[in-house]
Amino acid sequence: MKARNQVVTLLARLTAGDELIVKSLDRLGRRAGELVVLLDKQHKRGTLVRIMDMPWLDYSAPFGLY
């Protein structure tokens, strides 16, 4: 559970213009619904999340949102 607390702390520290790069999507969460909410929340905050294993999932452009 400690690792999850560190992810929550990291996400809380991100501000508009920051970019978070993770190796794979499962590093951010295990459930699909949780991940969708997390990515949407970060997008609304103006932070960019990039997943190295999923380069096609690009939230920096409008076509990558959904």
Q: What are the tens digits of pLDDT across the range 8-38? A: 899 999 999 999 999 998 888 888 888 888 8
Residue 64 lies in a domain: no
**pTM: predicted TM-score of the whole model, two decimal places:** 0.74
Total domain count, the chain:
1
Residue 23 lies in a domain: yes
Query: Residue 48's closest CA among 24, 26, 15?
Result: 15
Tell me the CATH number at 33: 3.40.50.1390
**Under 8 Å CB-to-CB from 49, ≥6 apart: which residues?**
19, 20, 22, 28, 38, 39, 42, 43, 59
Residue 66 lies in a domain: no
Residue 63 lies in a domain: no
Contact 58, 21 (CB under 8 A): no
